[in-house]
A and B are shown apart, each in its own frame.
Chain A
Amino acid sequence: EPEVTQTPSHQVTQMGQEVILRCVPISNHLYFYWYRQILGQKVEFLVSFYNNEISEKSEIFDDQFSVERPDGSNFTLKIRSTKLEDSAMYFCASSERRNSPLHFGNGTRLTVT
């Protein structure tokens, strides 16, 4: 069964550095999402992406964050000037249609020191 893949599985970075989290969504899916989950807490929506542009973003997704679909397969989340509070699991998801079931990757654990 096709799956969403995320790399790396764990990223450690120093405060102030930039990180890029990578995702390969399921190939025939049209909608892409990033969520984050601070350890054991709620799954927070960051951004949704469709037709090569952001379709929705949350208040968390400020100028520090950006997303890109640089080619036909990858979907990336860039976090500039990371802060300690950015430490979390970051999940990528994709879906065939708007509001159809989401398929999640296994996440990237980001640790900012």
Chain B
Amino acid sequence: SQQGEEDPQALSIQEGENATMNCSYKTSINNLQWYRQNSGRGLVHLILIRSNEREKHSGRLRVTLDTSKKSSSLLITASRAADTASYFCATDNNNDMRFGAGTRLTVKP
């Protein structure tokens, strides 16, 4: 079944630095989505990028998609301590979205 796999598993940076997380997937997609999860809470949708788009921005978030490499990246610029969370990519699979194991981002103040 189709699902994204994030890399790295964990990332620790200082406040103000940029954080880049990557996602790879195996089969063709209609869209790819990024979600954030604070500890013990539900996932929150961040951004959706369609298969015919290459880059998308939302505030401090920048997502790229390379369908030839079946990969996506999420860049968080000028990180803040409040960005500390797990980040997941999700790919569409017929009638549902499939998630990877996530990247746990820690931003130190």
Contact mask for chain A residues 83-103; partner B; CB cutoff 8 A; 1 contact, 0 none: 000000101010000111111
A43's partner among B31, B41, B88, B94 (CB-CB below 8 A) is B88
A interface bracket (residues with beta carbon within 8 Å of B): 20 to 34
Task: Evaluate whether A106 and B101 lie within 8 angstroms (CB atoms) in the complex, with A45-B96, A99-B30 already known.
Answer: no
Interface residues of B (CB under 8 A from A): 1, 30-31, 33, 35, 37, 40-45, 48, 88, 90, 92-102
> Interface residues, chain A, CB within 8 Å of chain B?
4, 31, 33, 35, 41-45, 48, 50, 55-56, 58, 89, 91, 93, 98-107
Number of A-B contacts (CB under 8 A): 63
Q: For residue A106, which residue of chain B has the nearest CB?
A: B42
Per the bound structure, the CA–CA distance linking A91 and B97 in Å amounts to 13
Q: How long is the Cα–Cα vector from A93 to B88 in the complex, in angstroms? A: 15
For the complex with contacts A33-B96, A107-B40, 10 further pairs of A-B residues with Cβ separation under 8 Å are A31-B95, A42-B99, A45-B93, A48-B95, A48-B96, A55-B94, A56-B95, A91-B42, A99-B30, A102-B43
Taking a contact as CB atoms under 8 Å apart, the answer to whether B45 and A42 are in contact is: no
Majority SS at the chain B contact face = strand
Q: Are A43 and B99 in contact (CB under 8 A)?
A: yes
Whether A43 lies near B96 (C-beta < 8 A) is: no
Q: How far is the CB of A102 from chain B (nearest CB, A)?
A: 6
Q: CB < 8 Å: which of B42, B94, B95 contacts A4?
A: B42
Interfacial chain A residues near B31, Cβ < 8 Å: 99
Q: What residue in chain B is nearest A100 (Cβ atoms)?
A: B48
Contact A104 B98, CB 8 Å, known A99-B30, A99-B92: no
Q: How far is the CB of A27 from chain B (nearest CB, A)?
A: 18
